[in-house]
Structure 1
Amino acid sequence: MPRKAAQLSEADKHAAEGGAVAVDRALFVLSAFHLGDTTLSLVELAQRTGLYKSTLLRLLASLEHARLILRHTDGRYGLGPEVARLNSVYSASFSLELVVMPVLRQLVQATRESAAYHVEQGEHRLCLYRVDSPQPVRDHAKAGELLPSNRGAGGRVLRAFSGARGELYQKIREEGVAAMVGDRLPEIAGVSSPVFGPDGELKGALTLTCPTPRFDEAFRPHVLRAARDLTLALGGTFPFPA
């Protein structure tokens, strides 16, 4: 009988409910490669995945056959050419709008306030995408509008994760979220969190805005979860608890 692991491997902990175990494990082997890795040994892969070497060898054989893994002459493993081909297909078909807008809509549905995605634009920040609150009283910023980078929750987040100094920005970097009341306009409050790409690069800020009287500290976890979801959708890692 096959040996049963005393505890779940990292691969099995991340398995999809109702999915195929072998597929989940193979995909987790691919995810064991991190930025900066060129090749990994069998021992390193076993340490990162928690899988037995015998199991790993079978998975690697299938991945190598699919050209997703390449075994080098020194016995170490690297990502194969099929990964590059798939990346090209993905890049050619990628639409940021199709990724961002569903997250914004979900955030608006959960909070009934307005949500936007801001990116740095020189000395300003650009509201790239926005979904309005269904409530009649709201702020009236629009997609395509340039806003100050030194005021407002979204601007503060972009500055904080671009290295701005000061107690406020340090706090934002530690907490992963900025909640500002009346910072840009006395009548407007906002909560914002950073969005990261696959290399840890700051991609933008996801921001929830509302009239000051409707500001609620309970918006923080909603914004953090949305920023995490968007970061994951962009292939990044979100370093803050959501």
Structure 2
Amino acid sequence: MPRIPPDPNAASSAEPAADGVAAVERALAIVDAIASRTEPISLADLSRATGFYKSTLLRLIASLERGSLVVRRHDGRYALGPYAHRLGRAFDAAYRLTEIIEPLLRQCVDQGSESASFHVYHDARWRTCLLRIDSHHSTLDRIRVGDLLPLTRGAAGRLIHGYMNDAQAHATLGLSAVSMGERDPNCAAVASPVFGSSGEIVGAISLSGPKERFTPSAIETMTGQAKAAAQAATQALGGRWPG
């Protein structure tokens, strides 16, 4: 599955004193690598994922453990700590995203759509799959909660990138996007943007699956479903759906 590829230059720059901004960035990279896994991660795998030397990892992990962001299990592997869970709950409470959007994703799936996901901005290169409901079909695309996907490829990514960087995005992008084999040659998706109370894009609802099921009529139906869900989410978040 897609993960952030390690920086090829990271290993050579990992040993200098980890202080200031560099230390914070490296610590966050460690937390991100652990959060990207569905199971605890070993020190060796963490080194490969981040490109940092083990000595650098141990020094930074000690600080993360003191802050309860990371815990070392009895088997020597690392997992997110209780403070990470607290942050997640605080984020969820602040934006009410799960409460509002997950039922809308499930409704799309129950209406016979492909798998429904909600994607948000991660950084200048990536978006994050924040919520996901698998479809009832026997074959699915391989996307999971926490996956990092390209920001400029795929229907959801293009919408998030476009609305964050183009003041005229309503006119140039519209309220839906379709991608056919753009991110994965075997997969396709339709997506629609969700807006917050200040008119900013919060994320995008995506319906995705194997490309062969995306016939013109299926795309038309799912585009309507995605837009209806995105409109309902926007209004529930206090935003205004563009008329």
Q: TM-score, normalised by structure 1?
A: 0.56
Of 208, 229, 233, 2:232 maps to 229
206 and 172 in structure 1: CA distance in 2 versus 1, 3 angstrom threshold? farther
Task: Say if 2:160 and 2:193, in contact at 8 Å, map to a contact too.
Answer: yes
Q: Deviations over 1:151-194 (max 9, x none)?
A: 1111011011112599xx78752x21101111101110100111
Residue aligned with 2:227, SS: helix
Alignment match, 1:24: none
Alignment match, 1:201: 200
Q: Which amino acid aligns with 2:240?
A: T
Q: Distance in 2 between matches of 1:232 and 1:198?
A: 9
Task: Say if 2:187 and 2:208, in contact at 8 Å, map to a contact too.
Answer: yes
104 and 151 in structure 1: CA distance in 2 versus 1, 3 angstrom threshold? same
**2:119 is the counterpart of 1:118:** yes
Q: Deviations over 1:15-60 (max 9, x none)?
A: xxxxxxxxxxxxxxxxxxxxxxxxxxxxxxxxxxxxxxxxxxxxxx
Residue aligned with 2:118, SS: strand
Q: Distance in 1 between matches of 2:184 and 2:104?
A: 25
Alignment match, 2:143: 141
Alignment match, 1:96: 97
Alignment match, 1:17: none
Post-superposition offset of 1:95? 3.1
Superposition RMSD in Å: 2.3
Q: Distance in 2 between matches of 1:212 and 1:183?
A: 10
Specify every segment of 5 or more residues in structure 2 that has no aligned partner in the other structure, as ranges: 1-91
Task: Say if 2:112 and 2:136, in contact at 8 Å, map to a contact too.
Answer: no
Q: Distance in 2 between matches of 1:223 and 1:194?
A: 9
Q: Distance in 1 between matches of 2:170 and 2:199?
A: 18
Post-superposition offset of 1:96? 2.0
Q: Distance in 1 between matches of 2:121 and 2:200?
A: 13
Please list, as runs of the form range in 1=range in 2, the aligned pairs for 1:9-48 lying within 5 A after superposition.
Answer: none
Task: Say if 1:119 and 1:205, in contact at 8 Å, map to a contact too.
Answer: yes
The structure whose RCO (Cα within 8 Å, separation 6+) is larger is 2
Q: Which amino acid aligns with 1:198?
A: S
Residue correspondences, number: 147
Q: Report which of the two structures shows the higher radius of gyration computed on alpha carbons.
A: 1
Alignment match, 2:165: 163
118 and 92 in structure 1: CA distance in 2 versus 1, 3 angstrom threshold? closer
Percent of residue pairs identical: 37
Q: Distance in 1 between matches of 2:195 and 2:113?
A: 25
Q: Distance in 2 between matches of 1:200 and 1:93?
A: 17
Q: Which amino acid aligns with 1:148?
A: P
Q: Deviations over 1:90-111 (max 9, x none)?
A: x968632111110100111123
